[in-house]
Structure 1
């Protein structure tokens, strides 16, 4: 299993990175230079890729090596995947030879399938100049640092992409050191986290598909886990959802942006839940708040254009929808420099380092009476009850017609639901299922009311932009719909207030 942190840099900065004094200082020997030609093989239907494998033949000088890798596991930032390789006599792959090394039966059978082996063909090539350093970090951490420049060229359709990439592969030690090294280099030369591999970029050249949005995956907690292990596991699950949706957001996918925002919201809810046990450093909290604001403004216009305005009755809203979509497109366009910015890279590296390195720990380690040291089965109870109590208090104080207060109840319901979802594996199955279902129903209802309130705030922008009549009508319609939707809310809120889980 290899563990790599992949970072992108501008091709114009490759020469500067090659001469970076930190790499020279930490290197145990002179860097090695290689000219590599990688040819990726697959069927015309890309069966290997769709099955979670890549098959590569590499020429390095006079040597030929074939390699099979699995899709990255865990966080898209820190690539952890299976890798098997064997030498070849020449440029033709021999997948049957590789399959003998692979234990998972599904992968072994995929490589041996006559239907696949008989159709293998080159699908794209990478031509790369690689400079490699062996890095020794303080504390005995060993890292292979590879700087690549070159191009990816798709077979048949003439598409290509430049390569400017820095790979930090952990040979021995703690993965958090990769993030520290990356941050030190990022101080001098702007880097971006690479959420996809060269293989993924090569396959993207072959297909015209927008990356699919990635929803949250279930959090898997062991019953013997301690609280700090649970915090790390849940936090990395949230980070994976954020990071997995970046390619889609860069392609201006509305749903990818929504799912990236959900991942960020889940992460912030988790950190708020654990705030009394281990507060996030203030500078990191500030940066998460910044990113949340960037994503939220774009999402508001998406909802107005695609959900709220199409529901307005009594007028044709096509012109309003088009104007709202134009605002949304401009904000999606503005997300590109945000996600390409050094500030975003710094946040992702710091946040991953904090979680993976358990940087909440004091230098002496956790004391046995530290709340983070207790078993998660015990420690989750006060956290879940705290979320329940906050929700009940907001419900009891609510004026149903107060939109900001309804929104605060919605946030509390969301946090209570996230708490139950995070610790689902450690809670009674039947009770947690009913609890989450009830909270989700309330959240959907309050979410619709919040969308109407946001529409009332955004529509004046369209009115002032030449849609005074239709915008004014739509604003009146959403206000009336919000008043109607608030009626009878108290009964649903009372049901939720009576919920008990822990």
Structure 2
């Protein structure tokens, strides 16, 4: 079975979880109590799947198994859109021949490829689920809490925590999903996350070196259409934010430049208000807070105002594509 997965990932501080859950229970919903999930991700020694921008896993739950491959897609901020193919299994054993032929590069030898695949990393987490009716859409919201393990989880290798909400559009439109996320962002403790569990697992396996941030240009080419400018700004915002959170001071400097871009852009687009109302109101305030010597990455990047600005930027971007 194939589908295009459209989801929004929100990293969450543990002390904010209960407040977000209380909000979710206030919407029309179907609730599923926490379930324990395990996932094993596979790769070749030369990272062939990664080079094809593919991710392969087997998920286990309550004696049932599912093999999933995700193929190349796109990520805008924390909004992920990737084709995925799911195959039910009777036992947790790979069989690449069960996937459609067209997903593989031409002349791929599936027998040879499968022979090279080994367990690379795994995830082990509890998932709580709400199927929310919001606006004209059905949106599945899950809370995942657990860990990512490099290699086998019992081998004592490195781990990373999992603590995130994911909003996945099941039926309806992306604007409703962003609107729901904005409702949840009325409190501190959430931020857009542009790294999937798989991407974080790959980073864990291959080490976590000090990231070199992309250089932020002093000026943008303002004559470009908004459909080009907005993704560029959002990508820089996300990259500089990740760097600052990782302890790189130049990330804070880069964010100051990004916020200045956004202020200038909203001033140029005053005819588009009230769509830009949130941005016009909050951006100057955030720029002032960011400039203060005592500003902390964990506090500002997980603040409600910070997230609401990024969600407004994403909504503005989607409006350009209509």
* Count, aligned residues: 310
Number of the residue aligned with 1:185: 184
Cα distance change, pair 50–235 in 1 and its aligned pair in 2 (3 A): same
Other-structure match for 2:126: 129
**What's 1:202 paired with?**
201
Deviations 1:389-419 (A, max 9, x none): xxxxxxxxxxxxxxxxxxxxxxxxxxxxxxx
Encode CA deviations 1:101-137: one digit per residue, 9 max, x unaligned: 52xx54x6678383x4333211211112112222211
**Shift in alpha-carbon separation, 1:50–1:12, aligned structure 2, 3 A:** farther
Conserved 8 A contact 1:147-1:167: yes
What residue number does 1:97 align with? 98
Matches within 5 A, 1:451-470: none
Matches within 5 A, 1:89-488: 89-98=90-99, 100=101, 102=103, 106=105, 112=110, 114=112, 116-138=113-135, 140-155=136-151, 158-187=157-186, 190-206=189-205, 207-214=207-214, 230-232=225-227, 234-253=229-248, 260=255, 263-276=258-271, 278=273, 281-293=276-288, 334-357=296-319
Cα distance in 1 between the residues matched to 2:170 and 2:49:
28
Cα separation, partners in 2 of 1:71 and 1:268, compared to 1, 3 Å: farther
Q: Which runs of 5+ in 2 are unaligned?
A: none
Are 2:35 and 1:34 aligned? Answer: yes
Deviation at 1:143, TM superposition (A): 0.9
TM-score (norm 2): 0.80
CA RMSD in angstroms comes to 3.5
Kept after mapping to 2: 8 A contact 1:74/1:240: no
Conservation of the 8 A alpha-carbon contact between 1:133 and 1:146 = yes
Aligned partners of 2:77 and 2:192 also within 8 Å: no
Work out the CA distance in 1 between the residues paired with 2:281 and 2:73.
30
What CA distance in whole angstroms lies between the structure 1 residues aligned with 2:111 and 2:144? 33
Normalized per residue, which structure has more helix?
1
Query: Paired residue for 1:76?
Result: 77
Q: 1:280 to 1:65 in 2, by over 3 A?
A: closer
Q: Which has the larger radius of gyration?
A: 1
For each residue in 1:178-217, what CA deviation from the matched residue of structure 2 results, as whole angstroms up to 9, or x when unmatched? Answer: 222122223356322212111122222222233453578x
Identify the structure with bigger relative contact order (alpha carbons < 8 Å, sequence gap 6+): 2
Measured after TM superposition, the shift of residue 165 of structure 1 is 1.4
Residues 212-264 of structure 1, C-alpha deviation per residue, up to 9 Å, x if partnerless? 53578xx9xxxxxxxxxx43553234223322443233223466556555544
* Per-residue CA distance 1:35-61 (angstroms, 9 max, x = gap): 211111112343322432211110121
TM-score (norm. length: structure 1)? 0.54
Q: Which residues of structure 1 form unaligned runs of 5+?
A: 220-229, 298-329, 359-372, 374-502
In 2: Cα distance, 1:189 partner to 1:334 partner: 14
1:10 to 13, 16, 39: 13
Residue of structure 2 equivalent to 1:407: none
